[in-house]
A and B are shown apart, each in its own frame.
Chain A
Amino acid sequence: MRYGHILILVGIAAIPASLGLLLSLLLRHDWLANFIYTGRYYVDLAWIVSTGGIGLSVLGGISALVFMGISQRIERAQAQLLADALEDRRRFLRRLDHEVKNPLTIILLSLSNLQHSPHLSSDESSSLERAAQQVQRLQKLVIDLRWLTELDAKTTERSRIDLREIIRDAVQSAGLGKARPCIHVRYQEVPWPVGIVLGDRDLLVTALRNLLDNAMKFTEETGQVELRASDDGHTVTLEVADTGIGIPADEMPHVFDELYRGQNAKRISGSGMGLALVHRIVTLHHGTITVRSREGHGTVMTINLPLAPGG
């Protein structure tokens, strides 16, 4: 039972109690006569008020129970609809994955055989090389999509993780070997270390690295990327802020959708899977991710994760 439901029931129980209290006060001070003579009958006012109160609370109670029952059913139906939609998508991606695997394997083998032909010009070799790269890109996309839908609580580890290690690993691996803006890492300005979370180390590193990769990809070399970490005793907050191209306001609701690519991001390479993956990982850790952005100025991605007990 939800906290709100308990409040409703307490409220309903308070109706007869408050009416009884009011009645006893009125009677005690003789502000209300026990009986009123109407000219033909004696009317017992106390009885009417108390019985009316009980009647009202019984009616209210029944209504509240019916309301709670209906709202629980609606919630269950909504959860079922969501689960069905997710399962439908999984089935579709499994089929797609399955149907695409054999053609991709054949194309990879064909290209490999062609590359061994002794009569290839250098232009033809380059074309084959490009074709092989594009097949690998397609292969990666299919595997990423499949992986995203298969990723669930069963396949994730849950161990106590020091977020400073996650930050160190993610910063080390983000954008390695590329010209990139400098990453500034700033921890909270309080004297305790950022807390411990329960989760999957590899997945959390992946999520943070993806955010850093994105921030660097969409920021000029002269720009800045800042990683901030803090905790308030209940929640750890990780923020990746950049001075990059930003996200147009009308695209904000879609940034975590699979395969979504913003209009101003299309000239920069990417699969459109990175943020969807980050969202899935954060959700699996019972956390939230939000985005704030000003087009042309920059973006701030904020991950909130619950601290581990005793963390």
Chain B
Amino acid sequence: MARPRILVADDEVDLIAELKPLLERSGYDISTAIDGRQALELAQQIHPDLIILDVLMPYIDGREVLRRLREADNWTPVILLTQVGTPIERAMSLQEGADDYINKPFDPFELLARVQAVLRRTRHGQLPISSYRWLMADNLRVDRQTRQAWLSDELVNLTARALGVLEYLMLHTGEIVPRERLLDEVWGWSYAVETRAVDIRIAELRKILGDDADEPRFVETIVGQGYRFLVAVEGKP
């Protein structure tokens, strides 16, 4: 079976030089680009299975590369290497059509985990679920634009952070999401806040969704690892 090909685009040549052996060791073939223009050309030529795209690059930045790919109906999965701090800014990257993002500086193993997860969940030729406004799982609906959720057509009252946790878990359905990642992505404060803050929001979610921790329907606790959303999620524009 052919090794998956990943296109890595970043203007920091030293970063590419270090990232390449790491990904190759993990079983991927790597092509590299050092600016946005080159990334666009290579994406059309080599048809990679995944693109890792730095946001800040000369000529055409990562976001613009992503927009042009999507406009050209190219749905190759993209992981953005972002430099922005706030969760809102990062969430915008997803709405622009990225499959995932990872904030610099990142743990190399965290990047490998994201690469594997994105390749596993990608549905070829389809919009990434993260670019949809509505997320639906059974009788649960989340409107990512108005930041509201409905259970069996009844509006549920969730705090902003509980909704953020629900949204992130739904976008990564089937994956074990560690508490630290939830803190980083939803709170934006992974270092200052205790991971117990995540447990409290999960308890809030379960109470409002009528979910049972022992026999979970939506959110499962994986002891010592994190949480996993159990239901298949569909996106709607």
Contact = CB atoms under 8 A, between A and B. Distances in A.
A108 interface: yes
Contacts of B197: 201-202, 205
Contact of B15 (A105, A140, A157): A105
Contacts of B48: none
Contacts of B25: 116
A202 B19 contact: no
Contacts of A172: 196
Which 3 A-B pairs give the minimum distances between C-beta atoms? A109-B18, A104-B105, A105-B105
Nearest to A140: B191
Interface in B83-140: 83, 85-86, 104-109
Given A101-B83, A101-B104, A202-B197, A110 B18 contact: yes
Contacts, number: 81
Contact of A157 (B22, B104, B160): B160
B235 interface: no
A106 B12 contact: yes
Contacts of A105: 15, 104-106
A116 B160 CA distance: 42
Interface in B13-59: 14-15, 18-19, 21-22, 25
A97 interface: yes
Contacts of B189: 147, 202
B232 interface: no
28 contacts: A101-B83, A101-B105, A105-B15, A105-B106, A106-B15, A108-B105, A108-B106, A109-B15, A109-B18, A110-B18, A139-B105, A140-B191, A144-B192, A146-B85, A147-B191, A147-B192, A150-B86, A172-B196, A173-B196, A201-B197, A202-B189, A202-B193, A205-B193, A205-B194, A205-B196, A205-B197, A206-B192, A209-B194
A109 B19 contact: yes
Interface of A: 97-98, 101-102, 104-106, 108-110, 112-113, 116, 139-140, 143-144, 146-147, 150, 155, 157, 159, 169, 172-173, 201-203, 205-206, 209, 277
Contacts of B200: 169, 201-202
A173 B199 CA distance: 13
A203 B188 CA distance: 12
A144 B104 contact: no
A105 B22 CA distance: 13
A108 B18 CA distance: 9
A102 B21 contact: no
Contacts of A205: 193-194, 196-197
Given A106-B14, A172-B196, A205-B197, 4 more contacts: A97-B85, A109-B15, A202-B197, A205-B194
B144 interface: no
Nearest to A102: B12
B225 interface: no
Contacts of B22: 109, 112-113
A201 B194 CA distance: 12
A277 B192 contact: yes
A108 B83 contact: no
Contacts of A147: 85, 188-189, 191-192
A144 B108 CA distance: 21
